[in-house]
Amino acid sequence: MRVLLVAILPYLATSFTAPSKAFGVTRAPSSVERADAVQCPRPSSVLKALEDGTNVDGVGANGTAEKKKVIILGGDGFCGWPTSLYLSDQGHDVIIADNLSRRNIDTELGCDSLTPIQSPEVRIQAWKEATGKDIKFINLDVAKEYDLLVQLIKEEQPDSIVHFAEQRAAPYSMKNSKAKRYTVDNNVGGSNNLCCAVIDAEVDAHIVHLGTMGVYGYGTSGGEIPEGYIDVTLPGGRESNILHPAHPGSVYHATKCLDALLWQFYQKNDNLRITDLHQGIVWGTNTPQTILDERLVNRFDYDGDYGTVLNRFLMQGAMGVPLTVYGTGGQTRAFIHITDTARCIEIAINNPPAAGERVEIFNQVAETRRVRDIAQLVAEQTGVEVDFLPNPRQEAAENELDVANRKFCNLGLDPISLDEGLFDEVTEVVKKYQSRCNPQKILPASFWNKKRAEECASLEDKEVTLKTKAEAEA
């Protein structure tokens, strides 16, 4: 695809879905129509390995490469914890570094995880008892404790460093000036510190960063969003392949765009080996590893700041609460199950760029769906109504989204698609812990600007009433 830099990119797109296969779950047909499926072509050697459980060295399918020592920054969080367990389960030597900032934000917001997450020490001990495998935990602030970060990398000599250690919620990043400044200081400062620390430690560690699809914007590429780099025609007819233009929609997304520029600079200047993963919205709660012991349960955020849209819908449906759709619900977004997040991280670890190669970029998504279509799917399953609320975000009311995800598929990922059978897992978690829910935290509490806040003023008097457990199960 060739585009002129000076042109206004048209809004074109269609939804896609990739092959679906979760851990032993039989898929029920979806009641929501979707566009023609895009099958992921895969090498026959990878396909054979997936079918018979054998390893194929160098191919990059899950568990096929040599086992590595991996430091996971932010390994206590929603994506970091299940990824840490998955990599440990696959035989990698895992070290978690986390300053527990997400737990501190729980206290700030007055809203705990719906699931009762244990301390890192209890979690790690439970993992040891369940599997016999060791995970090391270090309390470390990547953005502030630079000397300790350098020391950790020197002492551990990791093959890979997975970087989850960023404030991950767009709504929280727009909450107020304090949250905006913290998000920038923590996210951009931490990423810069990581690059500097790898250089100062003199360790050839492969950095794997969890980015976001939001760096591209939504429906602004003039067709399918490529994986990181886009072909352009410069003035004079010169053709080039450049980093996709940034189009952030929040302070959080802006930090990921700034991260992307840092990766480009440090790769070019210091030959760092870096992979940036542009991930879609994560849904689901547990993985085959977190269900081994109740003390291993992953966190479940349901509030207006940190609850991802599908998890919020599933929680609301299970509790008999009308689904909170912002605006028209015409926003099309990319999605990925939490289990596939962990699988993608290992594939990236197993397939690092060589020294001197440009930053590797993957689109870490399974499929795209329109928000109101997802709400319809959950409403039909749970029998609740859909409540269209004023949109707290500054964004287009409707957009299309077409995303390329061929790299992961070609390396053996068989992504899980949105499926009622898997919805049941989330619903059971919600019903089990529904007494921990604070219904007033369900509604949006962060607004993109004064105009958005004024248009959402009616939400201040809105009350949310949960069904009793007996009513919800009736």
Residues 6+ apart with CB under 8 A from 203: 153, 154, 157, 158
Contact criterion met (CB below 8 Å) for 87 and 342: yes
User: CA-to-CA distance for 287 and 27, rounded, in angstroms?
Assistant: 17
Given the residues 64, 115, 183, 212, select the one marked as catalytic.
212
User: CA-to-CA distance for 354 and 351, rounded, in angstroms?
Assistant: 9
User: CA-to-CA distance for 151 and 310, rounded, in angstroms?
Assistant: 40
**φ/ψ of residue 470, rounded to 5:** -65, -40
Contact criterion met (CB below 8 Å) for 193 and 264: no
Contact criterion met (CB below 8 Å) for 393 and 2: no
User: Is 212 among the catalytic positions?
Assistant: yes
Q: What is the DSSP letter of 140?
A: -
264-270, Cβ contacts within 8 angstroms, sequence gap of 24 or more: 264/358, 264/359, 266/195, 266/199, 267/358, 267/359, 270/195, 270/199
User: Is 306 among the catalytic positions?
Assistant: no
User: Is 450 among the catalytic positions?
Assistant: no
CA 203 to chain centre: 27
Given the residues 172, 216, 252, 302, select the one marked as catalytic.
252
Given the residues 68, 175, 180, 256, select the one marked as catalytic.
256
Cα-Cα-Cα-Cα torsion 68, 74, 76, 82, nearest 10 degrees, comes to: -50
Contact criterion met (CB below 8 Å) for 374 and 301: no
Structure tokens at 38: 């895009």
Q: Which residues pair with 96 in a beta bridge?
A: 72, 137
> First-to-last CA distance in the chain?
53
Positions marked active-site: 212, 252, 256
